Amino acid sequence: MPARRLAAKQEIALPDQRQRPDWDEYYMRIAMAARSRADCLGNRVGAVLVLDDRIISTGYNGTPANMTNCTDGGCLRCSQRDRFASGKAYDLCICVHAEQNALLAAARFGIATEGSRIFSTMQPCFGCTKELLQAGIEKVHYLHPWVYPDEQMQQTYQQLQQQFGGGMVAVEIEDEEANWAVSKGRTE
């Protein structure tokens, strides 16, 4: 029996078939999968670095390799959250952020990041924003917003964000684990 040819660009609609995600959703969902490895008492974040539509690195937040995990008391700042204001004292936190881990993994394996995009489940903090700019990241895609707690410094943070050539944009997809991942959403 001869095969039937379809006209160019003709879509076949199959019953109960899922929609293919667009690229932004695809990469963000991979960042969400990376986030599942996060071991932090604060925000739980995953990140994916993408260059030329290929994943070059992933990262999630937690203590450095071979150190006691955050949930086991490895980080003083995280285990005593009542002593430290939100968004402050990151210099005392031993956890490595997801964006940092993605950059560091790329560096460890000799992978250039210049011109890449990052997909992060949280808008990068002040420090990560500076590091991403220094690493030549072109565009930032994030799932959940992050606001610096000091209004004057928030303005400086926004000025830094404007330095990304491709911008910093929110990816609008549902996050069924937001209450687990974003510390401000937790009731525990």
62-103 pLDDT, tens digit each = 999 999 888 888 887 877 777 877 767 777 788 899 999 999
Q: Work out whether strand 46-51 and strand 54-60 pair parallel, antiparallel, or are unpaired.
A: antiparallel
d(CA 53, CA 139): 13
The b-or-e profile of 34-51 (16+ CB within 10 A means b, else e) is bbeebbbbbbbbbbbbbb
Give 177 or 74, the one with higher predicted confidence: 177
d(CA 166, CA 161): 10
Q: What is the mean pLDDT of the chain?
A: 88
Supply 109's token pair: 């394996």
Q: In this predicted structure, which of 88-97, 113-122, 141-150 has the lowest mean pLDDT?
A: 88-97
Catalytic residue among 99, 114, 172, 177: 99
Determine which helix (DSSP H) or strand (DSSP E) holds 168, and give its type and residue range.
Answer: strand 167-170
- What single-letter DSSP state applies at residue 185? G
Supply 86's token pair: 């939100």
pLDDT of res. 7 = 54
* Full-model pTM: 0.85
Q: What share of the chain is helix, strand, coil (3-state, %, to 5)?
A: 35, 15, 50
pLDDT of res. 143 = 98
pLDDT of res. 8 = 57
Checking if the pLDDT of 171 tops 80, the result is: yes
- Nearest-5° Cα angle at 30, 122 to 133: 45
Find, among 122, 129, 131, the residue nearest to 157 by Cα: 129
pLDDT of res. 10 = 60
Other Cβ atoms less than 10 A from the Cβ of 73: the count is: 12
d(CA 157, CA 135): 17
Give 86 or 5, the one with higher predicted confidence: 86
- Say whether 131 is catalytic: no
